[in-house]
A and B are shown apart, each in its own frame.
Chain A
Amino acid sequence: MNRYPLWKYVTVAIALVFGFIYTLPNFFGESPAVQVSSAKVTLKVDSTTQARVEDALRAAGIAHDGIQLDPVGVKARFKDTDTQLKAKDAIERAVNPDAADAQYVVALNLLSASPQWLTSLHALPMYLGLDLRGGVHFLLQVDMPGALTKRLDSIAADLRSLLRDKNIRHAGINRDGDRIVIKFRDAETRSAASRALGDNVADLALAEAGLGDDLRLIATLKPEAGKKIAEFAIKQNINTLHNRINELGVAEPVIQQQGADRIVVQLPGVQDTAKAKDILGRTATLEIRMVDDSPGALEAGLAGNPPFGTEVYTERGGSPLLVKKQVVLTGDRLTDAQPGFDGQTHEPAVHLTLDSAGARIFKDVTRDNVGKRMAILLIERGKGEVVTAPVIRTEIGGGRVQISGRMTTSEANDVALLLRAGSLAAPMDIVEERTIGPSLGAENIERGFKSTMWGFLAIAVFMIAYYQMVGLISVIALASNLLLLVALLSLLQATLTLPGIAAIALTLGMAIDANVLINERIREELRAGMPPQAALSEGYERAFGTILDSNITTLIAGLALLIFGSGPVRGFAVVHCLGILTSIFSAVVVSRAMINLVYGRQKKLTKIAIGTVWKDGITTVDGQK
């Protein structure tokens, strides 16, 4: 009765082999590596890049443990982190001779150190969470009303140019909250404008208002257009973050949308967290506006009542400036920004390239405003700063603009980076941040590992002392549970965090329950006088229902945590739920297979090594009478 058909043994054996293979990479660990990937879409990383990396390392006399090329880029392994850092600098110099215009992203990375055949089976080490490897985690909240406002501002500018193209005279276009108000002097113009707008701008719902000579056309965004803008804003921001993070050189960044208006950014292994945060947190956008230089206006503005439609800004260098609120151009029209030097003064400068619409607007504006000043504003986190406010000398066509004035080289680099990396469609705020230093990460791994190991050993010693042979089998089942759980986590590449390790430990502590249930039941059947073979069989049969029960209640809690948990709780819940599944398998199937192998073949089994089975009055040792 205690025999398994062959296929069951084979299933158990396959499961264990599978567990072993997929757990194996975790023992090899990861070796430090440098990863070179392309910073530009147009630039492909290929074997020539690989050759360049090899040459660079040879030239610098740095030994490597292998270089490989994969779709992500060229990866070179090194024996320790010191070599890795040296190699990074050497490669950086070789592939990006001009630091200001980086063609490649050179980043520190960790590569699985397991042999090739394991990697080709997709057997990779568990993916370590930030709390174990160190790094930064941000949760960014996208300011949707801000995105809508920004879009409306740019629509208002489009309307202005549209009406001018159609020669329709209006008396002012302004954004008022979430609508655009266009004023007209007579009804005919208004209906002409209404027709023109209706034909050309699909996103707007138009309504007429006002009487006499104060006629207005009120444009509001259609709801579906608003939704589209929100979706676009998130996508655009994610793209922008991608670009910015590429500039930072992070090997495996995670940038994902979470919910309707949030973005998660995880930068594993980033050491310079302040820099990362600075680059990410800077929601810099560019705006070009006209300066109001009319006499007395600035003085009024400084006194606290700027003329209508203007506001006071401070120019880099300190002097105040009165700038019109109307935006001529925004960073949306920008296609490229590069740091460089002014051709005449040799001052550091940023060269901007505008798209065709931007170039046309810029040309019109410069033509109409020769002799006036134009302010170039960098808006960062809601605060604007006038980078420079040059006087327009002539009409500027072709969409090439240069910003210079009172910038250092590194400032020019920063500004160019921020502008090139794209403007954010909507401002973002960091609503959650976790930064974990790399040393704390390593410490956390050790703590988690130690807890699990000592706990496991203590349980093993007790089980073997208390239940002897059957106890040993229980311990083997528990070990196979650990093996399968780690294999599953490695295979799924689920992120392992410290709470995840805690869940592994806790799952093992709880999983032993199943074996205790079985073993106690077997003892009880023996106590009741059942022959050993029958007691074994009965013990497993009767205990199974209870094992199922106990795991279902724990699973209910695990699932609730999985659904509602976030951050650390999620990491706990994933491992906890998977652990419950593997523990049912190992406690019931694996241990039964072992029992069957050990005892099932003996036809005349007289005793089971399950420790003392005590009966009232008579003590039987090892199930023997």
Chain B
Amino acid sequence: MEFFRIKKDIPFMRHALVFNVISLLTFLAAVFFLATKGLHLSVEFTGGTLIEVKYEQSADLEKIRGALGKNGFSDFSVQNFGSSQDVMIRLPLRDAQDSAKQGERVMAALAGEAPGAALQRVEYVGPQVGKELAENGAMALLVVIVGIMIYLASRFEWRFSVAAIIANLHDVIIILGFFAAFQWEFSLSVLAAVLAVLGYSVNESVVVFDRVRETFKKVRGLSTPEVLDHAITSTISRTIITHGSTQVMVLSMLIFGGETLYYFSLALTIGICFGIYSSVLVASPLVMWMGVSREQFIKAKKVAAEGVTDDGACV
């Protein structure tokens, strides 16, 4: 079996502008949703209480709401998730004194009005902890970005690092944009997925750029767009197969992983799809427009003699 029987290099760079405009529009839409709707943050970040209960039969949400209302709860949300038997109840933060006891009070309230609920999970996060988790999350994102920038800068010349970082950061914004647009819950595990996928898709740019560098050195007489086309074409088979395999795994989590892994794998799915697109079709044109040319690599060769990796293995 061989999926990719490509006779000639595909002229990706001819459509460079189109790719970038598509990407820019998606990016702007993401920013728009982030600005207008904002992220639907989970209790881990906002603080509050989350209670999951399971009923033997389909749960009567109205009854549950009534039970909570009667017992003096306010601003709560009651939703089904997964199945009609599973109910998720969210309560906002209240004064620190009684928050920790909210789980028990909810169960007591349910026992009276909507009996038969089995407590599956309670999660309570106090305001201080929520704030810290959010701060640490932001810090982790920052460290990943800086770390990858340093790595790319040491590995390639600046045009490549800048292009790769732009392409991959805009992926992060797009994932967040999806979460804002559909008001999916943004939790700590989604953040983990975003960071994992950031590390993963930067590597895609690395593979293509490795090939670009190799082609510049080996083949004479090609124009810059032709070199880029060749590099992308010759790595495309690996790109599709690799990401396809990862996506199969993620899909399996999406299907079998249940509610807890649902948004995690959703973030990965978006990240993987946009990761391929942007690190190949957005990053490469950016490099081209920043004026990459053969001469830069001939010079680079001298540096290489002093010990810098230059043959950058690739597919």
Where the two chains meet, the residues of A that have a C-beta atom closer than 8 Å to any C-beta of B are 131, 139, 141, 273-274, 277, 281, 381-382, 429-437, 439-440, 443-444, 447-448, 450-452, 454-456, 458-459, 462-463, 465-466, 498-499, 502, 505-506, 508-510, 512-513, 516-517, 520-521, 523-524, 541-546, 549-550, 552-561, 563-569, 572-573, 576, 611-614, 616
Contacts and interface: CB of A to CB of B under 8 A. Distances in A.
B196 interface: yes
B58 interface: no
Interface in B32-80: 44, 52, 54
Contacts of B119: 273, 435, 437
B103 A433 contact: yes
B123 A433 contact: yes
B293 interface: no
Top-10 shortest CB links A-B: A545-B313, A509-B249, A557-B199, A455-B252, A431-B126, A455-B249, A564-B140, A550-B203, A435-B122, A430-B100
13 contacts: A281-B100, A432-B125, A433-B125, A451-B249, A455-B251, A459-B249, A499-B192, A506-B196, A512-B245, A556-B148, A563-B143, A565-B140, A566-B133
A451 B242 CA distance: 18
Contacts of B3: 466
B313 A433 contact: no
B296 interface: no
B188 A432 contact: no
Contact of A509 (B188, B199, B246): B246
Interface stretch (B20-28, B253-261, B282-290): B253-261
Given A564-B137, A566-B188, 13 more contacts: A273-B119, A433-B100, A444-B258, A451-B261, A462-B248, A517-B315, A542-B313, A556-B147, A556-B199, A565-B136, A565-B140, A567-B188, A569-B191
Contact of A569 (B147, B189, B249): B189
Contact of A558 (B196, B206, B311): B196
Given A462-B245, A545-B309, A437 B120 contact: yes
Contacts of B203: 549-550, 553-554
B151 interface: yes
Contacts of A611: 1-2
Contacts of B261: 447-448, 451, 498, 502
A506 B250 contact: yes
Most buried by A among B100, B137, B247: B100
B155 to A, nearest CB: 7
Given A277-B100, A451-B253, A560-B143, A434 B122 contact: yes
Contact of A549 (B107, B118, B132, B210): B210
Contacts of A576: 196
Nearest to A280: B100
B128 A561 contact: no
Given A139-B129, A459-B249, A550-B203, A517 B242 contact: yes
Contacts of A541: 313
Contact of A505 (B139, B143, B195, B253): B253
A545 B314 contact: yes
B139 A545 contact: no
Given A274-B104, A451-B253, A549-B203, A520 B237 contact: yes
Contacts of B103: 433, 435
Nearest to B100: A430
A499 to B, nearest CB: 5
A573 B192 CA distance: 8
Interface of B: 1-5, 7, 44, 52, 54, 96-97, 100-101, 103-104, 107, 118-126, 128-129, 132-133, 136-137, 139-141, 143-144, 147-148, 151, 155, 188-189, 191-192, 195-196, 198-200, 202-203, 206-207, 210, 234, 237-238, 241-242, 244-253, 255-258, 260-261, 264-265, 268, 309, 311-315
A569 B101 CA distance: 26
Contact of A568 (B126, B188, B238): B188
A546 B100 contact: no
Count chain B CB atoms within 10 A of each CB in A543, A556, A573 and give the residue with the most.
A556
Contacts of A546: 206-207, 210, 312-315
A553 B202 contact: yes
Contacts of B248: 455, 458-459, 462, 509
B191 A458 contact: no
Nearest to B127: A431
Nearest to B314: A546
Nearest to A521: B315
A550 B2 contact: no
Contacts of A613: 2
A437 B52 CA distance: 10
Nearest to A461: B248
A181 B48 CA distance: 41
A516 B207 CA distance: 13
Given A553-B206, A563-B143, A430 B124 contact: yes
B134 to A, nearest CB: 11
Nearest to B53: A437
B257 A510 contact: no
B123 A434 contact: yes
B199 A444 contact: no
B246 A569 contact: no
B121 A614 contact: no
Contacts of A444: 258, 260
A79 B1 CA distance: 51
A405 B240 CA distance: 78
B271 to A, nearest CB: 11
A447 B244 CA distance: 22
A381 B96 CA distance: 11
A512 B315 contact: no
A432 B124 contact: yes
Given A433-B103, A498-B260, A560-B144, A516 B206 contact: no
Contact of A561 (B96, B140, B237): B140
A430 B315 contact: no
B250 A465 contact: no
Contacts of A131: 260
Contact of A554 (B5, B97, B120, B200): B200
Nearest to B143: A560
B249 A508 contact: yes
B128 A141 contact: yes
A336 to B, nearest CB: 29
Contacts of A437: 118-121
A557 B199 CA distance: 5
A524 B238 CA distance: 11
- Candidate in B192, B196, B200 with the most chain A CB atoms within 10 angstroms: B192
B100 A141 contact: no
A560 B147 contact: yes
B2 A572 contact: no
A499 B264 CA distance: 9
B199 to A, nearest CB: 3
Given A436-B121, A443-B258, A550 B206 contact: yes
Contacts of B245: 459, 462-463, 509, 512-513, 516
Contacts of B1: 465-466, 611-612
B192 A561 contact: yes
B264 A450 contact: no
B199 A558 contact: yes
A496 to B, nearest CB: 14
Contacts of B125: 431-433
Contact of B264 (A458, A463, A466, A502): A502
A429 B120 contact: no
Contacts of B210: 545-546, 549
A332 to B, nearest CB: 24
Given A433-B100, A433-B122, A466-B241, A568 B189 contact: yes
Contact of B140 (A430, A431, A520, A560): A560
A431 B121 contact: no
Contacts of A433: 100, 103, 122-125
B256 A439 contact: no
Given A466-B1, A569-B191, A611-B2, A502 B144 contact: no
